[in-house]
Amino acid sequence: MAQPAQTKRKDQDSALDTSNSSFLSLSDADESVNGSGKRGHGDERDEKKASKKKKKRRAKDAGSAEVNGDAASLKRRNSLSKAARDPRDEPSRKKRKKAKKEGVQTRSPSPVIDFDGLSRPSRGTRERLEESPEQAAERLEKMRVAVRTIMECVGEDPDREGVLDTPTRYAEAMLFFTQGYQQNVKDIVNNAIFHEGHNEMVIVKDIEIFSLCEHHLVPFTGKMHIGYIPADNVIGISKLPRIAEMFSRRLQVQERLTKEVANAIMEVLKPQGVAVIMESSHLCMVMRGVQKTTASTITSCVLGCFEKKEKTRNEFLSLIGLSRGQR
Ligand SMILES: [Zn+2]
């Protein structure tokens, strides 16, 4: 579990100046988890073979780090392929490391695209995808009864004329709000990946997102901005919003939604890098709890060259109108 984060850290340390940006810290938090989803769950065998050696080495590294502690892993990072660096140039490494390790431990790794492309599958996901019309009717009825119960519990009379059909309507709406459970990335992308030799940043911004907070089953809505830098291959531009839509039509937390979209694009397209930023307003925060109606939550996930190069990251931020100065 800790291995991918380990290797990631290697990349980052060589590339970052970590002094300031708040975005950086946001995305750092995301990445510590990404590592686990990004590699190792791919379904293609070729990829697996190719990365087998690397993995072995990673596993070895992680093992020795656990035994020998931080000092050992620091030493190991100075590989021959990298320029010698003065240790004083590298700010507070130990702290960063610890923070990351904790981040990895507190969240479980969730495979982003599994073998059947359903992404984060559960028994229910499969059942829902493969159900017969009879089973679908049964599911709806079960939900209808449950909603009726909720209505009774809140003090409403479910037999009152105005709300007679509400349980059915709500059940159907709920199935629509969560239809992402029966979609998968491969069907959505549907081979719309084209070899264009294009290597400049592509951005789709202001993608409207409607999702359900998994803690309260209350909506959160907002906008997502997706950018990537192709490695020759580009993806049909309409596929990006559709991937975002698929993951948002599930029970979500915004952090994971952001991360899943970025990882999915990384996996299907294998670009040089992906950046996803989402800003949204959570009704569970607006309507209850702290009741801050203007608060918006921003999450980001940057992978590949967006993670490694601050310049690239900043270009993306300024293109979507979220650069440091403006916020
Ligand atoms: Zn909530």
For ligand 1, the distance from its centroid to the CA atom of residue 318, given in whole angstroms, is: 30
The order of strands in the sheet holding 297-304 is: 251-252, 202-213, 219-229, 273-282, 297-304
Q: 220 CA to middle of ligand 1, Å?
A: 8
In the chain the domains, ranked by start, together with CATH numbers, are 3-73+92-106 (no CATH), 123-182 (1.10.286.10), 192-326 (3.30.1130.10)
Ligand 1 center from residue 258 Cα (angstroms): 16
d(C-alpha 59, C-alpha 72), whole Å? 15
Listed range (53-57, 152-156, 199-203, 213-217) with the worst mean pLDDT: 53-57
What single letter denotes the amino acid at residue 82? Answer: K
Tell me the CA–centroid distance for residue 211 and ligand 1, in Å. Answer: 11
Contact 4, 58 (CB under 8 A): yes
- The reported pLDDT for the residue numbered 130 is 85
Q: Give residue 212 CA to ligand 1 midpoint distance, Å.
A: 8
Distance from the alpha carbon of residue 36 to the mean position of ligand 1, in angstroms: 25
- Mean pLDDT over the full length of the chain: 74
Output the pLDDT for position 67.
44
User: Which helix (H) or strand (E) segment is 285 a member of?
Assistant: helix 283-286
Check: CB of residue 269 under 8 Å from CB of residue 40: no
Which of 207-234 are b and which e, b meaning 16 or more Cβ less than 10 Å from the residue's Cβ?
bebebbbeebeebbebbbbbbbbbeebb
Please state which of the ranges 31-40, 155-164, 312-321 shows the lowest mean pLDDT: 31-40
* pLDDT surpassing 90 at residue 49: no
Span from the CA of 218 to the centroid of ligand 1 (angstroms): 6
Q: Ligand 1 centroid to 252 CA: how many Å?
A: 9
CA of 288 to the centre of ligand 1 (A): 9
Span 247-274, pLDDT tens digits:
999 999 999 999 999 999 998 999 999 9
Is the pLDDT at 224 greater than 60? The verdict is: yes
pTM: 0.64
Higher-pLDDT residue of 326, 299: 299
Q: What is the pLDDT of residue 125?
A: 76
pLDDT of residue 110: 46
Residue 217 Cα to ligand 1 midpoint, Å, equals 7
Does the structure show a pLDDT above 90 at 140?
A: yes
